[in-house]
Structure 1
Amino acid sequence: MPLITRFILVFLPLSTVCTISYSYEYVRIPLVIAVQEEGNETIRPLVELTVKRLSQVERRRVPELHYLSLEKLKDQNSLIGADYLIASASVFAALEKYSGLKAVASVRPVISVNPDHAASTAILVDKQSSLKTLKDLKRKVIGVPAGSSPDERIHVLNELKVQGFSDPKFVDFKAISVNCEEWLKNFRNGSIDALALNPLSFKKIPESFRMQMNLLEPRIKDDYILGHTTATYPGWVMAATLEAGKKETLYMEAFLKSLPAVDGLSWAPQADYRQLHQVLTSLDDPFYKSFRKRTWREIVEENLIWFALAGVLIFSWLLHTLFTTALVNKRTRELSEANERRLKAEEHYHNLEKASIVGQMSNIVAHELRQPLAAISNYSLAIRRRLSKGNLDEEALSFAISKLMSESGRASEIIEHVQRYAKGKPSDWKSFSIDELLRSICDNYLDSQQNPLVRYEARGGQEFNGDPLEVELIVRNLIKNAIEAAEQTKSPDILLTLESEKGAFRITVSDNGLEISDDTLLNLREPLKSTKIGGLGLGLSIVKRISEAYEGHVEFAKNIPTGLKVTVWLYSKARKDK
């Protein structure tokens, strides 16, 4: 074989694959989740699981945890750039009022009835102490472990107020060591008289220490199983900041509810924090007000010296500006020229990108036209064969012609659809029954005995706003590959399911093909790098591209006991140009 021929056969396929792969490259941006530092030890395993699972399912964003202290959270600018905040109930209540945060999901211990009763505080005293009731705490010191959330102190203050001890100086609070072995020493040397502790934290300390403590006025037959003194309140919460979009927040809420419990804690629907707002307001606690934005007058009075210094600096800067105007003008001209060069480079880049997209559409045409063209060829050969035998009646001819027209129309739709992509025109979106579309697709897959090759199950509403041809391309590609994978088994089993909830549609195709490895499953997430394992080939790139156009994504999972399960998420929204 000539050398130039070998070069063409090797280089051209490689260049085509590289061009197609390039169009799928994207940059993953951070998904910032801020976490309150104080008191997060009890929920840290749940937070770590959440981030781990989120990083596995989130394709476009990379979850990042940013721990912020209470002092930083009081500065509303500290949440700039953060999408979500995980905070204790009292901190969230303050930020909800003064910063506009919205609850997404609340933490619920398995021992509580519901998220509205997920937290409380245990007031503990030494067994050798004479303190028996809350009334005995008058003018006493209550120790709070350093780094605890403000919730314990708020719970105690409200409990005292409810029982008639509303004097703000009724008790004093003191930060103590987090080491439980030091607590008994604090009791014995008189530095504290009682201890305010989260019941979940108290449950985890050694039994030998718990046996030396008494729970003050324990509640029984309550909606919180662990021993506690105060009333129950909502617990920790994940809240959405102003940076998070509404659709993303709804997705996050559904994702959190799907996670399993960790160390007896799980995510639950957002609790009702109105009672906590009332408690914080009635206590008139400085902590609650510290999250309020200060007025300009307060800021100026607190920083009068700095404002005077700023005035001097501004005056100096104005003088300096008179001498640097010429340099600024020169630099402006240079930047204008550089910006013009950048615009030309961007225009060149967009032209290259468009050429890459057109190249990829050509592959889609070649791949998708095989089915209708193969059908047209088969029906044409059947007509010619029956004509040669002289047994072609009018009914058979009419049936064959209708099939030829149907497949020809389908091929024409595919070509027209690809031309829209290439020319940058929007797809032909409309409202249609996705259930009827999937059923008609399944009816086309029959074995030689006219038995269905694909089982179909549907749950939920089926009205969908989009392009029927795009949905059909997704399903036909997945079914085709599933059939190829299941052919290697004695009893092929292919299942197509449709589920819908709040505008989100989940289409799943599962087969019982050969078992696949973890590495192969991981590689399936990379565009145009998958193998035929599990029945996925070139059509996977089409599935991913269309699902992303509907703000969805594709998930891969091993089927039990063997085979592959491919799930495509699509979101039915108001039409917009893609």
Structure 2
Amino acid sequence: MKPFILISLIAVELLCAPVAFAEVKAHPPLVFVINSAVNPLLNQAFVNETIETIRRNVYPRRLEVKYAELPEIEEMMEKKTADFYLATSSTVRRFQDIGLRDMVTASSPFSKDPNKSEGSLIIVNAGRKDLNTIDDLKGKKAAAGRVTAFGMYLAAMGEVAKAGYNPQQFFSGTSFYGLDRDKIIEDVLTGKADVGILRICYLEDAVNRKVVDPTRLKFINLQPEDEHICLHSTALYPNWSIGSSPNLPAAYVSAVTAALIHQKPTALGIHWSVASDYTELDTLLRALNLGAYQRFSRLWFGRMLHEYKYVLLGAGAMLLLLLTYTYLVSKLVERRTRQLRVSLERENKTFQEAKAANERLLRMQRAGVVGQVSGLIAHELNQPLASIKLYARALQRASEAGTLTEAKMKEVLEEMRADADMASAIVDRVRQYAKGRDSGRQTLALSELAAKSIREFNRQTGSESGIVTCFNSRAIVYVNALEIELCIVNLLRNASEALTKQNIKHPKITVSIFEDAKRAELRICDNGNLSEEKLSLFNEPTQSDKSSGLGLGLQIVRGIVENHGGKISFSRNNVGGLSVLITLPLHEANHGKKAAENAHTNR
């Protein structure tokens, strides 16, 4: 009976063996990826024992072990092509948002707490007196492991961020050497790099291997050694960890985790435990925008693009339209500005030409005034010169007769000097006027100026023409006497010549003066025959009915009157002749007196 049972069991086992083999063959091996940089922090004996522990607890599944460098491990974590990962806690933590989970964390005798076992040491050449703090490292050249290596770079960048700097712009340049860590120390000693970043405890390993004399190095931002026996410049973070892929069945995760925790410590005391505090590590990843924080930023941006694509397209279109409108407006403004500039330049050129023409006209006008004043000056100078001549002749006769006394000579010479001063004053007055200087205005009665002008006109014409005057007011004005006299004489001459030319049998010129509350009026009328055509000529700025002279007589008169704040107008009177009206502002004192008289009359 017993042999039969034994044979039956063997037969059953033989029949089931192909089925079990088929089941194992149907499931691919589990992959355990180990970071090549695991040594020297975790020694090879501890790693080998860990491999065997995992292999025993996934049986009958096979376990495939692979060593890889950090970039390849990160790619495998991203694609979930492995099942177990042995790497730094920061590497596992960076992929937690896509399903990776830390199972156990290494605990070593170098640190009292597995939560505080990993960090960086910042080294500089001992001869660099200028490098003492993290602030001093700004803008310097650095040497490190990899851009994503935790102890060989990221932990140190966390201290840079804590100091208030942007880690991506802190160093002027960084050389990355991967696993060739001794090259970092070499660059610092030779001066190729100003600063080096080493993983915690690597310096002590290099000293044991006789790679470097620690006295040749200086350490930046050195931290207290009460929590870790190795020198470090940064905060401390959880130790190396084993992480699991989300594709790994929970039974394997539970079995492996329990087995690793109960794995016997090595002779150095290294064993697996559980990390409980990732606060400092998460803060670092957030500050450096790594892992979940980096992917969240990308996802957030992508989600925004997807959810608000029409809004963004509309905003982009509006922005494009705004930019186009701004461009077109700027071009239009530029063109208008250019046109305005050309117009202003043309206007300025026209203004300058008009100014130059006006200055030429004023010079011609002044020349004409000076020429016409010459007759008046000759008459004014005649009196002092004639007196001087008479006094000189009297002195000569007295000298010849022997009756010239010293007192008489002194008296005559005083008279001659006074007449000479008078002549000099007259000449200086004309010279000042010719040079454009103010020859002086004074308060005068317009009736007195008109009477003097009539006498001068009679003297120049050599006859006592029958000019009728009607002075109803003295009309006090503030004027240049010489200029106003010239105006009146000029107008009288024009009227007289016009009457002579027209062969008027009984020529008549009337000069009248009136005033109202604000102005004085001087009117000169003749009894000639004035046509509408000739009347229009008087209103042309440079026209004259005279065939001789400069042709600027009336223009000169108009300029003088307007310079005194007055106006001149031409019209035909009730007998068909020309009527010239000159209005001048009354002097202020006379104006006030007139207003007072009007007020008294009203009472």
Using structure 2 for the length normalisation, give the TM-score. 0.42
Higher relative contact order by CA 8 Å / sep ≥ 6: 1 or 2? 1
Which structure carries more helix by proportion? 2
Return the TM-score normalized by structure 1: 0.44
